[in-house]
Amino acid sequence: MFIQHSFTRVLHPQVFFCADLLCCCWSLAVLALVAAVWFFRDSRQITCIHEKHVLVTGCDSGFGHLAARQLDRRGFHVLAACLTEPGASRLRASASPRLKTLLLNVTDSASIDRALERVRSETGERGLWGLVNNAGISVPIGPMEWMQLEDFKKVLDVNLIGLIEVTLKFLPLLKKARGRVVNVASILGRVSLIGGGYCLSKYGVEAFSDSLRRDMMHFGVNVSIIEPGFFKTQVTDLSLIEDDLKKRWSNLPAEVRRAYGDSYLQDYIKVQEFSMNILASSDLSKVTSCMQHALSARYPQTRYSAGWDAKFFWIPLSYLPTCIADMVTNILMPSTKES
């Protein structure tokens, strides 16, 4: 009895070790299987791309311009909406004859109606497969106290209200095709880093897209959100941002400028320079590839984060407790004289 009991006591740690090792192996096998299934599912593509029409807004430059050309090469019938005729001409010169351009101001209801009629005539009974809401502006940005009500309206009208109106008017065509809506938000729709209307508008795009997705899933319409990090486009043009900040600073009451301190403006501009010159990527295809996947994948993702800063900094920051996120953002932004 003593020998058997001693042997059992010696054996117990080995049994536990083997059980733990077996559990780890099973866990790794399950994770590998899940990853393989996800990769296979994510890589599956739709068929008959050459029969599908896609409308992209904001195609004069930046993401929209590149996305229109990329989707055109992929075989879609691209309807590229530009704000200006010169922007439309540049795009036509760099694309195939299959790509069609139209003029669209997303803040003008009459312009949206004209675009709707044009798209309806182009798509016919097939309906509209994809709508990429990409048009947007950023300026003015800056401390909230430096803004007027009209400054918020200016950005919200383009980035949010215009996006909503375009989407609602084109929904019947999208439902007919059981198609896709791709809304370009921003990582600043998760972390409000700057004042002004930009972050507000992108938070609104996130909320609108979530509500729309849950409503439209009953009709077979998928809704995806693109959340780019910092990229070098006209929206992030540093000269426009700096000029606007300097103008606002000069228009502030003297007591407000004293509260911020004489060096605050230059410190704030340096933060913007760091964001645009160090963090911002010039590879816009990281964003447009997400758009293409959302339109051509059999199983599109709900959210796409584009850029290393979005994936490894801003999104993790958005999940941290608010007090920690505030501490991090306060480190990034300049201090006022009275802080």
pLDDT at res. 1: 47
pLDDT at res. 305: 96
Task: Please say whether the beta carbons of 67 and 296 come within 8 A.
Answer: no
pLDDT at res. 334: 83
Task: Please say whether the beta carbons of 83 and 104 come within 8 A.
Answer: yes
- For the beta sheet containing 100-103, the strands, ordered from the edge strand earlier in sequence to the opposite edge, are 100-103, 77-82, 53-56, 130-133, 180-184, 222-228, 303-306
Task: Indicate the burial class of 63 (C-beta count within 10 angstroms; 0-12, 13-18, 19 or more).
Answer: buried
Phi, psi of 319 (to 5 degrees): -95, -10
Residue 192's closest CA among 184, 200, 182, 204?
Answer: 200
Distance CA 12, CA 35 (A): 35
Task: Please say whether the beta carbons of 200 and 159 come within 8 A.
Answer: no
Q: Based on the residue annotation, tell me whether 198 is a catalytic residue of this protein.
A: yes
Catalytic entry in 198, 203, 260, 304:
198
Task: Tell me if the bond preceding 140 is cis, omega within 30° of 0.
Answer: yes
Q: Tokens for 218, please give them.
A: 């009953």
Task: Please say whether the beta carbons of 44 and 298 come within 8 A.
Answer: yes
Rounded to two decimals, what is the model's pTM?
0.86
Q: Name the CATH topology of 49-332.
A: Rossmann fold (3.40.50)
DSSP calls for 117-173: HHHHHHHGGG---EEEE------SBS-GGG--HHHHHHHHIIIIIHHHHHHHHHHHH
* Domain range annotation of the chain: 49-332
Q: Tokens for 90, please give them.
A: 């540049």
pLDDT at res. 235: 83
Point out the residues of the chain with pLDDT beneath 50.
1-3, 6-8
Q: What is the dihedral of CA 79, 83, 86, 89, to 10 degrees?
A: 0
In the chain, the amino acid numbered 283 is D
pLDDT in tens, 83-139: 999 999 999 999 999 999 999 999 999 999 999 999 999 999 999 999 999 999 999
